[in-house]
Structure 1
Amino acid sequence: MPGWLGYAHGPYAERRRMKPLALFAAALTLLVATGSASALTNRLKDNPSPYLALHADDLVAWQEWNPQTLALAKKQNKLIFLSLGYFSCQVCHKMQREALRDPVFARFLNAYFIPVLVDREIMTALDYELQAYAMQTQGLSGWPLNIVLTPEGHPLTAVFYQSPKQLLQSVSYQQLRWEREGKTILADARAATDVRLAYTPKPVRVTPVVARKYRDQFLLEVFEHADTYRGGFGSDSKYPMAPQLDTLLELQRREPDPRLEKYLRIWLDWMADQGLYDHVGGGFFRYSSDAEWRSPHCEKMLGDNALLAMIYLKAADIFNQPRYRRIAFGTLDFIVAGMQDSKTGGFMASTSALDEQHRPGAYYQWNKDELKRLLDAAEYSAVARVWGIEQRAPLAYGYLPMNRLAPDAGEAAKLESAYRKLAEARKQRTLVRDVKLLASLNGLALQAFSQAARIEPRYAATARKLRDFAVGTLWQNGELAKAMSKGRLIARGELEDYAFLASGLVAYAELDNGKQDLLVARELMAAAWRDFRTANGWKAQKRSLLAGSPYLALVDDGPTPSPSAMLIGASLRAGDAALATQGQKALERGHEILDSGVFWHATQVKLMQPAK
């Protein structure tokens, strides 16, 4: 399993050390000193993407990623500096403050590169391709991801967060190489592209024996890296890993195993009890920077929360644990209260970790004086013991609600009343949101609310309103929009959008017995198979601007499930023979990839298992 589970957040994400270079200092001094002012200007003002609009005042002359920008790079024979991030990425904001508004760095970048900024949630296919490149070359992936490309669009190098000095060293080294060895670099990049394009997947029929082989291999890889004491994987940062967790639950449902049950319940309990879950307002944070789930980065993502709501609903059923159902409902209630766009019924992409003063996590933290002022003596006593607040505050702005110690019955009642008071007090604080409404993540939300409505009818109205927005606004004239922001539709849908929304509509049709919704879902699936699947494999988008972008035998799971696997799964459930045949044939491809490791293909492995 390469890297640390593929996520490279934080100031230590970039693990390499740049090798000393002869003449480096002299070359850098010369380049900075002689760089003339660029004719480029920052083109991000009033951009509908909140992330791009946030960078409109950067000193870097940001361009958008489109054919015109690529043509400009070719015309000027300049390397492209392409940076991918997203609105709620705490480390992306850190890089912006430190490097992207640094006059020396900006002057150099504007003079010698074509700078391009990308909202990875709008261009998820491009992000996928470049994250795969970063994983192959660096053993890591994550955000912010900074890629240097040739003018033709060949990736040359990838770095993550770096200080202004380090980032300037990285890009100036690439520019110096390009100036001296450009023809050789381009020839090597073209040759590497030819190798990638030579791959053609071969079919293997999915028999029970084949399915069992990949099931056993998946469990082996899981337990090689499992933290069996606190759940999740590894002994460093912890992520929910929703696709892997969901597949493990499905395997447990089909074939109960005491060892797996123990691990899953530890994992689910630690996420829900410690700091990853917002005990006051519901919902889960993006990830935790420690192994105990107690130091979360406090952005909340729509996709994570929709997936985790479904996971806890499933776990409640498998393990007969009503508490897990309460966690799921609390998460869905947060999505409605904290992320719903009142005009459309759609859901916003994320809430930021930063408050109105740009303090990470401060919105969710409480100091002792605030707690004593807001709570009565009995409530404070319960909070003090359960949170462990007699110890020194572990976070920058106080204490984060969590169950460091398990509450007894009396304390549980006091905590409940305390959390109601804290929730009311928190209304006086301001939290920044990414207001764009993504087709893909709203598809996951539709699936989650449709599943929940089968248990709790009050969620049916939310599902219906979301369905109306998706079908009535995002899906028009046989074309799916990627997103809506500030009243404007943004970009064309990619594989992820079609697959996730189709899955959501199938779930809604199952809830409502809606034949029309099933027909729309089938239309989405048919369009996805037509536009994103070929005899050579998958395309994440209709047309990539990257040079020699290869077809993919399989699309990996990431924080959200593999879009190709989601499309296969929806096609097998759609009640349409032609779609089911396409899905079954796709399951027969890419086995040579699975043979080298299945951890990042958990959703594909789940679909292979025989129905029980």
Structure 2
Amino acid sequence: MKKVLFFILFGTVALGCKQNSDNMSHKHTNALIHETSPYLLQHAHNPVNWEAWHPDVLEKAQKEDKLLLISIGYAACHWCHVMEKECFEDETVAQVMNDNFINIKIDREERPDVDQIYMDAIQMISGQGGWPLNIVALPDGRPFWGATYVPKDNWIKSLEQLAELYKNDKQRVTEYATDLANGLQAINLVENNVDSELYSLEQLDSAVQNWTQYFDTFLGGHKRAPKFMMPNNWEFLLHYATTTNKPEIMEFVDTTLTRMAYGGVYDQVGGGFSRYAVDVKWHVPHFEKMLYDNGQLTSLYAKAYAVTKNDLYKGVVAETIAFVQEELLDKSGGFFSSLDADSLDGHGSLKEGAYYVWTKEQLINLLGNDFELFQAYFNINSYGHWEEQNYVLIRDKNDEEIANSFGIDIETLRKTIKKGLATLKNERNKRPRPRLDDKILTSWNGLMLKGLVDAYRYLENEAYLDLALKNAEFIERELIKEDGSLYRNHKNGTSTINAFLDDYATVIDAYFALYEVTFDEKWLKLSKNLLKYTKKHFFDNESGMFFYTSDQDQSLIRRTIEVDDNVISSSNSMMAINLYKFDKLFRGEGYGETSNQMLKNVQKDFDRRAQGFSNWLHLVLFNNKNFYEVAIIGDDYMDMAQQIGKEYLPNSILAGSKKNGNLDLLKNRKVPGKTLVYVCQEGACKLPVSTAKEALEQL
């Protein structure tokens, strides 16, 4: 049986298929027309009888004993568009799908709970995954076949074989699906480790040393292609390098952040980062631009600026926020999800990167006498060439090197480059824009909110705080329900889908950070209320971890427990850090014990693969190094807090008030006529000081 399924899976990926032309007529309309997700709406006029993921659809499948064909993707996914053109818009393909399956389209960004399970399934089946993710499952949702992109002829052949197999040998298909479902449950088990000690600093040093063998010390990032910008990896290493005084690790972080900022993966013209680079030098990106990358990278570069005072990092923060504000900000204060990788080229065809690339002739015509300097600065040469006649702007020298080679001063260089980039942006604005995914996702907004808070904290730009407060108020107004729970999704004034653990974890973190820069207890209270709700409805007493889905929602095959830190940190690692910080302000409520137990449950994997648990590793540093609660009381508490807060102090939290506050940390500390700083550990405080300099010396 397994051999048959294996053959069907891998026998489908060899041949190509000519792409159909765009069909703008609405000859067909399916049930997706009632959805709000831009990705689902893109498929609403396919001849395939698509359904959205709803419990009644699964009930219908079981009643009719019909296989499910589940296709998962997202709006900015290039290969999802290709497969739609080749297969899902084709009436012959649609007939095979409609006759034999109940067809379900899923936006993975709306339903990560479903995507996680089926992504694990395809990796168990084939050893690889990606999107579009296509799964064939029993009527109850248990998968038994999967593939990513499949050309038309092979897609038809595979589906016909699978339908025939289910018709003629249902028992064996069911046995395989049962085995796979058992495997999906087994790989997600987390044991409650009650015996071990917490991970030591010596163990952490060894784990990081193992990790360094993958460092690309010349181009930054890891020695591989494609290269992903892994914000939690570099943020942990920044924390580790500064806290343990490891200059060689700091140098690697600097190299990575500089090369990323120099690369084509960073939009030199309009700011903001694309998804990842397909090469080793951060040059040619997969051109989709996602809110979650840009939110996390805003935080990372702001913190790196606090450590290094490198103006390059400050510029990246400013330009990234400007991009998000210009392209992804809704008038409500929420942030949209992404920009597509594809846009219309000069011939009217959808092409990846068409909006962002330049020919040499275009640059000569636009820049005139400044072209020679621009050419050297952004490598309009073999180093910067992509494909056909197109160049993707990439730097490989700093301003001083370029200025010296042209015999000009730095200011003249920067003014000329800034003028050239403004010219290109003006020209680019005339091009057809990439499609916008205008759904608003709670967790991604939480990440962007945290980015704005960090940008304000470390760069001291009031505009960033204003933007953060508008977003925080949007989340409070539109995404928090009366019962204290969250929605996952918001579109056109309507919020839908119950939130998942990452939605709670990111908003709890962002609201806590917002309290640390405003000392408005409203944000701390909202953060704590969300934490209480999460403990009540997501926590698993048996494993000591949090489920990804609430006990208020139906589960499919399993309730996932997410622990691996990927491009976005795992929801459990974020929750463990949230709990650790809340324990410092609300001692005796059990938050610290839960956080430590969660850390114990996963720490056995740190030796083997530290980079896959990098967000967890902050807790190792918190537990092994001094962690401080900093209380600031008095008339000038806000000014004092800004002076302290702009320094990079990862092993600390801030609390402040004009007078004695409600928190235990702020009670009975007010001295009339003075603004005092109390540096405390576990609630025990050193003698108060009256200047930021003295406080920082204690820290």
TM-score, with structure 2 as normaliser: 0.77
In structure 2, distance between residues paired with 1:349 and 1:396 = 31
Give the 3 Å change call, closer, same or farther, for CA 507–547 of structure 1 in structure 2: closer
Counterpart residue type for residue 71 of structure 2: S
Aligned counterpart, 2:602: 590
Residues 1:49 and 2:37 are matched in the alignment: yes
Corresponding residue SS for 1:284:
coil
Larger mean CA deviation between 271-280 and 596-605 belongs to: 596-605
**Partners of 1:148 and 1:573 in 2: CA distance:** 43
Give the match for residue 384 of structure 1: 375
Which residue is equivalent to 1:37?
none
1:27 aligns to what? Answer: none
C-alpha separation between the residues in 1 aligned to 2:614 and 2:597? 18
Equivalent of residue 475 in structure 1, options 476, 480, 483: 480
- Could you say which structure has the greater relative contact order, defined with CA pairs below 8 angstroms and 6 or more residues apart? 1
* SS of the residue 2:419 aligns to: helix
Partner in structure 1 of residue 465 of structure 2: 460
CA contact (8 A) 2:359 2:391 kept: yes
1:591-606 matches, within 5 Å, as 591-592=603-604, 594=606, 597-606=609-618
Q: Tell me what 1:560 maps to.
A: 568
Alignment of 1:43-82 (within 5 A): 43-82=31-70
Judged with a 3 Å threshold, the aligned counterparts in structure 2 of structure 1 residues 529 and 57 are, in CA distance, closer, same or farther, namely: same
Q: CA deviation at 1:535?
A: 1.8
1:84 partnered with 2:72: yes
Q: 2:304 aligns with which of 309, 315, 339?
A: 315
Q: Identity across aligned pairs (percent)?
A: 25
Matched, 1:304 2:293: yes
Gap change, CA 1:460 and 1:19, over 3 Å in 2: closer
Q: Which residue of 1 aligns with 2:207?
A: 217
Give runs of aligned pairs for residues 144-543 of structure 1, distance below 5 A. 144-194=132-182, 197=185, 199=189, 201-204=191-194, 207=197, 209-210=199-200, 212-214=202-204, 216-220=206-210, 222-342=211-331, 344-356=332-344, 357=348, 358-377=350-369, 379-391=370-382, 393-395=385-387, 398-406=390-398, 407-408=402-403, 409=410, 410-429=412-431, 430-454=433-457, 455=459, 456-477=461-482, 478-537=484-543, 538-542=546-550
**CA distance in 1: counterparts of 2:244 and 2:161, whole angstroms:** 54
Task: Tell me if the contact between 1:193 and 1:547 (Cα under 8 Å) persists in the aligned partners.
Answer: no
Which one has the largest radius of gyration?
Answer: 2
Deviation at 1:306, TM superposition (A): 0.8
1:319–1:81: structure 2 CA closer, same or farther, 3 Å change rule? Answer: same
Residues 153-179 of structure 1, C-alpha deviation per residue, up to 9 Å, x if partnerless? 112132112222233344334333322
Contact 2:199/2:620, CA 8 A, preserved across alignment: no
- Separation (CA, whole Å) in 2 of partners of 1:55 and 1:20: 26
Q: CA RMSD in A?
A: 2.6
3-state DSSP of counterpart to 1:418: helix
Matched-pair contact (CA < 8 Å) for 2:9–2:145:
no
Please report how far the alpha carbon of residue 195 of structure 1 lies from its aligned counterpart in structure 2 after TM superposition. 5.9
Q: 1:135 aligns with which of 123, 127, 140?
A: 123
Q: Are the equivalent residues in 2 in contact too, given 1:60–1:106 (CA < 8 A)?
A: yes
Q: How many residues align structurally?
A: 576
CA distance in 1, matches of 2:124, 2:231: 23
Shift of 1:546: 6.0
Does structure 1 conserve the Cα–Cα contact (< 8 Å) formed by 2:203 and 2:607? Answer: no
| Separation (CA, whole Å) in 1 of partners of 2:196 and 2:449 | 30
> In structure 2, which of residues 102, 107, 127 is the aligned counterpart of residue 114 of structure 1?
102
Shift in Å, 1:212? 4.2
Instruction: Check the 8 A contact 1:154/1:546 in 2, yes or no.
Output: no
Q: Deviations over 1:244-275 (max 9, x none)?
A: 22222222122232432332222212111110
Q: 1:237 to 1:482 in 2, by over 3 A?
A: same
CA distance in 2, matches of 1:258, 1:218: 14
Q: After alignment, is 577-586 or 600-609 more displaced?
A: 577-586
Which residue, out of 592, 598, 605, partners 1:580? Answer: 592
1:191–1:98 CA distance, 2 compared to 1 (3 A): closer
Provide the rounded CA distance (Å) in 2 between the counterparts of 1:272 and 1:560: 19
Q: Distance in 1 between matches of 2:571 and 2:424?
A: 39
Aligned letter for 2:542? N
Task: Specify whether residues 535 and 116 from structure 1 end up closer, same or farther in structure 2 by C-alpha distance, changes over 3 A only.
Answer: same
| Counterparts of 1:84 and 1:488, CA distance in 2 | 23
SS of structure 2 residue aligned to 1:590:
helix
Residues 1:17 and 1:329: Cα distance change in structure 2 (over 3 Å): farther
CA distance in 2, matches of 1:76, 1:363: 47
Whole-Å separation in 2 of the counterparts to 1:397 and 1:254: 47
Secondary structure of the corresponding residue to residue 490 of structure 1: strand
Contact 1:211/1:605 (8 A) holds in 2 = no
Q: Secondary structure at the match of 2:435?
A: strand
Aligned CA distance change for structure 1 residues 170 and 405 (closer, same or farther; 3 Å): farther
TM-score (structure 1 length as normaliser): 0.88
Distance 1:200 1:354 in 2: 40
Matched residue type, 1:520: L
The alpha-carbon deviation at position 215 of structure 1 amounts to 5.3
Aligned residue identity for 2:435: V
Gaps of 5+ in 1: 1-14, 22-39
Distance 1:206 1:446, change over 3 A: farther
